[in-house]
Amino acid sequence: MRALLHQFVQHAADFGFFLHTNRFLEKVFSPNSSHSNSLRILLNVIYLFGARLSSNPQVKAQEQAYLTRALQHLPTALPEDPRGAIYVMQAEVLLANYFFDNDRKLEGVYHTNAAVSIAMASKLHMIRSARRSRTAADTTAYRLPPPADLLEEGERINGFWTVFILDRCWAVATGSAPAFTDDESTGTQIDTPWPMELATYQSHPFPNDFRTTRTVQSFISGADGDANVASQSILTIHAKAAILYEGATRLASRYNPSSQATFLSLDNRIERFKQALPRIERFDPSRVGALRTVLLVLTLSHCASIQLHTPLVQDRVTANSRTYQAAHAAVKLLRGLNAGVLSGVNPYIGILWSSVGRVVSQAISTARRMRTSGANMSSQGLPDERTLHAELERLVQAMEQNAQYSPFMSAHIRSLQPRQTA
């Protein structure tokens, strides 16, 4: 069990683990601790990941048994232990990522929605809200007792934003609306403060009277500015990138010339945010887990530009195309990263790399047509075909680092390879 936990912990952040790792392990291994049903369910999901990521065939063979055990007990978890709702929500997040990574989208969506339901019912969208809950008198199976301390409150804040990111991103992948509606009229407005690194909740706690409101809406409007983005937690910039990415996709899906002002406003918002982001070179290369998440966040930000500008691109991609500029920047992030950083990544980066690959493929097609027609490539500022093929190859190699663990990534590699050899 210790070996499985150790295997999981190395990749915990990649699959949405938001609890404080050391405190969690202390609870698991405490000789005086009796494990609640909700904690046992979470442990079975963690063992599932440990088995999945193991290189030992005998351990890998136990994967299905852990999955069966976790799913079997999941429906009975919540009424027994109100505080354990956070453990169950954590288990749902991990299971959603597990199923997405296995290319089982329907089950991934089911567990994402289950995590959202727990977050909303537990009012995690209203932590430190400046408004009073309109449904304060409601009874709910998940009513959480007040947090035991600052760190537990921090886990709830970080848990909320982890579920929010999962919901926003996979809504794009499945072509559905996000489950978090962020609507004041229905009592779903998100007021929870931006997340911090878990240690910061203890070292620099919120003042007792600290309150927030309209967190997401203030960010979209630009009211809270981007001046301090580079110093914010990775989870905060991940949530902000997810907001812009989903918003760009939604606007692009209904783009028409009359929405030009809205389009330009969001385009400027995305560009300002991207310029404020920290550079990947700033991060300690030995912090492999953090570097993987930073890679995901920066790629997500570039893909927000790709999503927004895709309706404007017909069948011609040049160096001046905003989609190609964003795709080129996303590929550039991969330079110099070692295999350890690129292995065991969050499954969603497969979607992002596929988007980037499609743009590079369009650029290759454009370059080929220009060459056939005798046009001067350099006058268009477009890289030569060899450079473009090298970019596509770099993407495929990054995806291959994960193919042995991830059927989802394997499927997305296949979607790029025909273009690569065309």
Rounded Cα distance, 330 and 83, in Å:
41
Q: Is residue 27 part of a domain?
A: no
- Which structural domain range is residue 321 located in? 279-422
Token pair belonging to 265: 């406003």
Confidence class for position 353, pLDDT limits 50, 70, 90: very high
pLDDT tens sequence across 372-401: 877 665 556 667 888 999 999 999 999 998
Q: Is residue 136 part of a domain?
A: no
pLDDT of residue 136 exceeding 50: no
- Tell me, letter by letter, the H, E, C secondary structure of 207-245: CCCCCECCHHHHHHHCCCCCCCHHHCCHHHHHHHHHHHH
Q: Is residue 209 part of a domain?
A: no
Non-local (6+) Cβ contacts of 146 within 8 A are none
Q: Is residue 417 part of a domain?
A: yes
Residues facing 212 on adjacent strands = 129
Higher pLDDT, 76 or 145: 145
State percent of the chain over pLDDT 90.
64
Q: Is residue 406 part of a domain?
A: yes
pLDDT tens sequence across 40-72: 999 999 999 999 988 899 999 999 999 999 899
Q: Is residue 308 part of a domain?
A: yes
Nearest to 210 by CA among 219, 218, 201: 201
What one-character DSSP code corresponds to residue 259?
Answer: G
pLDDT of residue 335 exceeding 50: yes
pLDDT of residue 90 exceeding 60: yes
What average pLDDT does this structure show over 127-146? 69
**CB burial string 395-410: b at 16+ within 10 A, e below:** bbebbebbbebbebbb
The overall pTM is greater than 0.75: yes
pLDDT of residue 91 exceeding 90: yes
Q: Is residue 210 part of a domain?
A: no
pLDDT tens sequence across 206-264: 999 999 999 999 999 988 788 889 889 999 999 999 999 999 999 999 888 888 899 99
Rounded Cα distance, 299 and 310, in Å:
16
Say which range, 79-83, 207-211, 235-239, 355-359, has the weakest mean pLDDT. 79-83
Q: What share of the chain is helix, strand, coil (3-state, %, to 5)?
A: 70, 0, 30
Rounded Cα distance, 58 and 96, in Å:
25
pLDDT for the residue numbered 235: 96
pLDDT of residue 422 exceeding 50: no
When divided into structural domains, the chain yields a total of 1
Say which range, 131-140, 191-200, 351-360, has the weakest mean pLDDT. 131-140
- Average model confidence (pLDDT) across the chain: 89
pLDDT for the residue numbered 137: 44
Q: Is residue 169 part of a domain?
A: no
Confidence class for position 199, pLDDT limits 50, 70, 90: very high
- Provide the 3-class DSSP secondary structure of residue 290: helix
Place of tokens 């920290």: 278
